[in-house]
Amino acid sequence: MIYYIVFFSASFLAVLELGSNNKSISNVLPFYVLIAFTVLVSFRTGVGTDFYAYESLYYNSISIYDDGVNSIELGYLYLSKFFALLDMPFYVFLVSVCVIMYTFIYKSVIITTTYPCIALCILYSDVFFYFHLSGIRQAIAMSITMYSFKYILDKRLPYFLFAVTCAALFHKTAIIFVILYPLVNYFSTRVFYLLCLLMLFIMPYILSTVFFNYISSLGYFRAVDMYISDSYNVFSLGNFIAGAIKRSFPLLVLLYLFNINRKESYGLVKSPYIKVWFFGFSFFLSTYYSFPDISVRLSTYFIMFNIIILPMFIGYFKAPLDRGIYVLTIFIYCAFSMYSYTNIAQYQYKFIDIF
């Protein structure tokens, strides 16, 4: 129930934001949404697929660090150890994580979209459940990489590499984001989309067991053998179709905009944000069959840019009625996406007893 209270409250603020069309209001309202997110992430117990693993890691972070175990990224381990040395409870540590994570997300949506509350509703419906309530290390990394995209657009390579390095200190998979710099800055729009389409055919051959064995030999990633094992990667056609349909929503909206106003909508194809999303969507389609878990984890770095492009489409619906229908469609899309998580036993919400 708490999930829906937060969602409908965020949706209400999004409607206020849409109606006001005031930048100062749009800068303030997301704070209330992010505070609600912070409460859900921090003051829970047993919620999420990895909650107890992260809780155990936190309370053992001092001994893990002192023993020289290098399987956990140092950025996350240092942060855990700092709060553990202060004898802070786990929920205080989670609050600090949320402050870091949501600061980057707030800055990202504020500078890229006129409707940040709508962007946060989209984030809440999927990424929030899969990562913020479960894979918190990658959630931090993704918030940093999303913010780092501004350095790609500004062509500030040293700043971009520094940001991605910081992200990789929380989850090593963030290193994949480096590929965006040349793709966005050095390839024409036509070549970029051609490469994405080619990826559908060549990626299954590139991401072979031989490739991952080589990656494992570098010693950078941990537990590679587990992530590529047959027992860990059980392909489900139903899950693939459902995942592809859910992730294709921005593409369907884009095709609709082309249908009603081809000339004006053509510029959207050149948008770097849409390029990033399309790259992630192509990566998901081309890798899910062989490595479902890896496919979802890596593609989300790029697909989560849907929180920027879906609100961006609002301005292309000129008639107020069309705009209202589209925003309502976004909310329905978010509700269905969120519903698929709330039915999972691990996501049944329980507040921690701190009193």
Which tens digits make up the pLDDT trace of 77-126?
Answer: 999 999 999 999 999 999 999 999 999 999 999 999 989 999 999 999 99
Question: Which stretches of 22-135 are DSSP H helices?
Answer: 23-42, 51-59, 61-66, 74-85, 90-112, 116-125, 127
User: Tens digit of pLDDT for each residue in 172-228?
Assistant: 999 999 999 999 999 999 999 999 999 888 877 676 655 666 555 555 566 555 565
At 114, is the secondary structure helix, strand, or coil?
Answer: coil
Q: Classify residue 314 by its DSSP letter.
A: G
Quick one: angle between helices 292-303 and 136-153, nearest 10? Answer: 40
φ/ψ of residue 351, rounded to 5: -75, 145
Measured between alpha carbons, how far is 109 from 37 in angstroms, rounded to an integer?
15
More confident call, 351 vs 63: 351
pTM score over 0.75: yes
Q: What is the reported pLDDT for 67?
A: 52
Name the residue ranges covered by the structural domains of the chain: 1-134+333-355, 187-316
Q: What is the reported pLDDT for 22?
A: 76
